[in-house]
């Protein structure tokens, strides 16, 4: 349990990495690569639908499985839809969906973990037992269960993935909060008479948020992979909507005549996971310099 | 104790799928079997079979008693006993996952030893670059590419496998190579940490070669965290196998679980989830035992408490 009371005033301290995070990432070799790659993918998602002339969901049966050309840069799929437009549209669901799930587990993990740490006692015990049970359901297994309960669908999938993942964040948030509360400068802030909520906001929450942000960035790649894997199996994004994994499923049977249809979404999934992993590792190095490998 | 509590909690969560499933299970069963206009007798018979009239806690106990004796009820979709359907397909899945696990352990061991032996030099850089690439390639994407380029393109194995030998090797290699990426990084870091410790310096002072220190001194010390990571991932391996099985048309649980998921066949999903939990908890216990065998210090602690 965290003690948040004592007396006096103390200037607000800053966490080491809170100044110039982008600059720090830019200085880091992996961080820069991840940043550039992620930026390119986000640009594809944001600008693609506005700039590309083709409707991602409009079939054109006169022009199915067309090879890459000046009009269709990455060719057309089995129903004549523009592959590049679908990749750009699909980026929202693959990348944006993963970001949404990460934001969700970040928020839930932060609240549950910090509440458990601050409250202590019975509430702490109950919350952590629930976390233990969730962590005994390995990996994505619990996502299967939730998806089985709700049935296939994109929003159901995002919800299922968030439910399967939050416990790890809650556990880390609680541990970080307890650790931060025991640090000398927080002790000092307490003794100087900062109000409990001030100590919480100025010292505990930033530390917890940093740790969770690192974990979320490291977990982002796995989340992108999970969303596309479930959609590949037909359990996530439903027709006619585009998503990279679902596009892999659509194109796999045309590989011998139109291999580019399979390679482009596979390359984008690879690039997105790679960018997330690089960013995550860079962030981890920046926040814990001694853990560098 | 901790593990036991988790299993009870997990069983409660898994059981809760049944009453939590939106809609009347009777309707869902009828829908799953594509019976559109059921007779009243059919509905009454289903209700009696499900026991949904009992209070919830009794339903849980009835369910738990069944599960403990290996009875997961009947599939909503097919009407067959869940356990019989799973038992028919489980050996193929275990064969695939087991082979994949073995390949993965051997492959990551080899890569990590090479990287740690020549740390900072080109073999190490190559291994690190390789593991970063592989860590970014999701297993199902790797499986698809291998399916298209190796199986279809080079004619190795068969597209419709039916569990044939060559497909087992190829599919297991996909699982093994995919898992090995993270484990190689973990084991390499563990080996390097061990090599920097005092006992390695003592061995160095006594004239042992770096290679010998690596395998005799560092490896046993670094093995435990590595094995723990391997053990933890077993549940995830079973959870991840459906997508690989579907791509390689492997006759395991994959297709069955997918069908169950797409029509919300709750008893089958419950059985699959509990299976993965049991594999996970079982593997954790085995790892704990392996830890006692690997690390003599833990034995002393066990004797004191």
Query: In this structure, what are the phi and psi dihedrals at residue A52, rounded to the nearest 5 degrees?
Result: -75, 135
> SS3 of B81, please?
strand
pLDDT at B157: 65
pLDDT in tens, A107-133: 999 999 999 998 888 999 999 988 988
**Chain A CB contacts of B235 below 8 Å:** 137-139, 141
Q: A10: pLDDT confidence band, cut at 50, 70 and 90?
A: very low
Residue of A216, A242, A244 whose CA lies nearest to A107: A216
Cα of A47 to nearest chain B Cα, Å: 25
Token pair of B109 as six digits: 């061991």
CB A39 within 8 A of CB A92: no
Nearest 5°: CA angle at A277, between A240 and B180? 95
Q: Which of A118-122, A187-191, B183-187 has the lowest mean pLDDT?
A: A187-191
Exposed (0-12), middle (13-18) or buried (19+): which is A282, by Cβ within 10 Å?
buried
pLDDT at B113: 92
Cα of B273 to nearest chain A Cα, Å: 6
> SS3 of B262, please?
helix
**Chain B CB contacts of A147 below 8 Å:** 261
CB contact under 8 A, B236 and A140: yes
pLDDT at B231: 84
CB contact under 8 A, A245 and B140: yes
**Closest residue, chain B, to A244 (C-alpha):** B141
Q: Whole-number mean pLDDT of chain A?
A: 86
Cα of A23 to nearest chain B Cα, Å: 23
**Chain A CB contacts of B2 below 8 Å:** 132
Disruptive mutation site among B7, B10, B31 for chain A (greatest number of A CBs within 10 Å): B10
Which among A149, A152, A273 is the nearest to B138, CB-wise?
Answer: A273
Q: How far apart are CA A246 and CA A261, in angstroms?
A: 12
Q: Within its chain, how far is the Cα of B170 from the centroid?
A: 18
Token pair of B125 as six digits: 């850089």
Nearest 5°: CA angle at A218, between A213 and A223? 105
**Closest residue, chain B, to A142 (C-alpha):** B273
For residue A2, give Cα distances in angstroms to A8, A135, A183, B208: 18, 24, 11, 50
Cα of B236 to nearest chain A Cα, Å: 5
pLDDT in tens, A79-102: 888 889 999 999 989 999 999 999
For the cut 80, the answer to whether the pLDDT of residue A22 exceeds it is yes
Token pair of B218 as six digits: 């560092």
Angle B82-117/B219-247 helices, nearest 10 degrees?
Answer: 130
Disruptive mutation site among A30, A136, A253 for chain B (greatest number of B CBs within 10 Å): A136
Token pair of A219 as six digits: 């977990």
Cα of B285 to nearest chain A Cα, Å: 13
Which among B12, B232, B260 is the nearest to A148, CB-wise?
Answer: B260
CB A279 within 8 A of CB B161: no
Q: What is the DSSP string of A62-93?
A: TSTTPPP-SSSTT-B-TT--BHHHHHHHHHII
For residue B239, give Cα distances in angstroms to A9, A139, A153, B97, B112: 53, 7, 19, 10, 26
Q: How far apart are CA A70 and CA A80, in angstroms?
A: 15
pLDDT in tens, B115-172: 998 988 999 999 999 999 999 999 999 999 998 888 777 777 666 656 667 888 889 9
For the cut 90, the answer to whether the pLDDT of residue A154 exceeds it is yes
């Amino acid at each position: 349990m965290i003690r948040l009371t004592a007396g006096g005033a103390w200037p607000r301290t800053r966490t080491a990495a809170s100044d110039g995070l982008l600059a720090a990432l830019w200085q880091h070799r992996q961080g820069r690569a991840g940043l550039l790659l992620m930026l390119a993918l986000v640009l594809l998602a944001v600008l693609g639908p506005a700039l590309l002339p083709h409707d991602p969901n409009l079939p054109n049966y006169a022009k199915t499985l067309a090879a890459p050309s000046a009009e269709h840069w990455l060719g057309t799929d089995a129903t004549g839809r523009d592959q590049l437009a679908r990749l750009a549209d699909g980026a929202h669901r693959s990348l944006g969906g993963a970001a949404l799930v990460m934001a969700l587990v970040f928020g839930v993990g932060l609240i549950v973990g910090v509440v458990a740490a601050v409250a202590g006692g019975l509430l702490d015990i109950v919350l952590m037992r629930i976390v233990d049970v969730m962590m005994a359901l390995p990996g994505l297994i619990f996502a299967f269960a939730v998806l089985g309960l709700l049935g296939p669908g994109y929003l159901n999938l995002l919800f299922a993935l968030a439910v399967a993942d939050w416990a790890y964040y809650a556990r880390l948030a609680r541990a970080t909060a307890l650790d931060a509360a025991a640090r000398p400068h927080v002790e000092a802030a307490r003794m100087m008479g900062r109000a409990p909520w001030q100590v919480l906001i100025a010292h505990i929450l930033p530390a917890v948020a940093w740790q969770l942000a690192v974990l979320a960035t490291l977990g982002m790649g796995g989340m992108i992979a999970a969303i596309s894997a479930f959609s590949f199996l037909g359990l996530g994004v439903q027709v006619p909507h585009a998503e990279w994994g679902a596009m892999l499923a659509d194109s796999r049977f045309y590989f011998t005549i139109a291999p580019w249809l399979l390679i482009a979404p596979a390359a984008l999934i690879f690039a997105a996971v790679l960018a997330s992993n690089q960013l995550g590792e860079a962030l981890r190095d920046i926040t814990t310099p001694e853990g560098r490998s | 104790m901790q593990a036991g509590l988790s299993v009870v909690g997990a069983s409660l969560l898994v059981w809760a799928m049944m009453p939590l499933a939106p809609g009347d299970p009777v309707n869902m069963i009828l829908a799953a079997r594509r019976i559109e206009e059921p007779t009243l007798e059919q509905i009454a018979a289903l209700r009696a079979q499900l026991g949904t009239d009992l209070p919830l806690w009794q339903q849980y106990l009835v369910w738990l008693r069944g599960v403990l004796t290996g009875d997961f009820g009947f599939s909503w979709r097919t009407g067959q006993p869940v356990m019989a359907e799973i038992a028919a397909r489980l050996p193929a899945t275990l064969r695939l996952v087991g082979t994949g696990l073995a390949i993965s352990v051997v492959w990551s061991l080899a890569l990590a030893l090479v990287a740690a032996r020549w740390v900072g030099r080109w073999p190490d850089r190559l291994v690190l670059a390789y593991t970063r690439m592989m860590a970014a390639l999701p297993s199902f994407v790797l499986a698809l590419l291998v399916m298209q380029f190796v199986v279809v393109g080079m004619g190795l194995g068969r597209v419709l496998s039916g569990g044939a030998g060559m497909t087992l090797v190829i599919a297991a290699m996909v699982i093994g190579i995919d898992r090995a990426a993270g484990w190689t990084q973990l084991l390499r870091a563990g080996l390097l940490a061990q090599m920097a410790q005092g006992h390695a310096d003592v061995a160095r002072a006594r004239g042992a070669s770096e290679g010998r220190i690596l395998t005799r001194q560092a490896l046993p010390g670094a093995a435990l965290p590595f094995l723990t990571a391997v053990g933890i991932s077993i549940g995830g391996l079973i959870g991840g196998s459906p997508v690989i099985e579907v791509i390689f048309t492997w006759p395991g649980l994959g297709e069955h679980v997918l069908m169950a998921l797409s029509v919300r066949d709750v008893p089958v999903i419950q059985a699959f989830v509990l299976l993965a939990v049991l594999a996970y908890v079982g593997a954790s216990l085995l790892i704990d035992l392996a830890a006692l065998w690997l690390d003599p210090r833990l034995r002393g602690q066990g004797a004191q408490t």
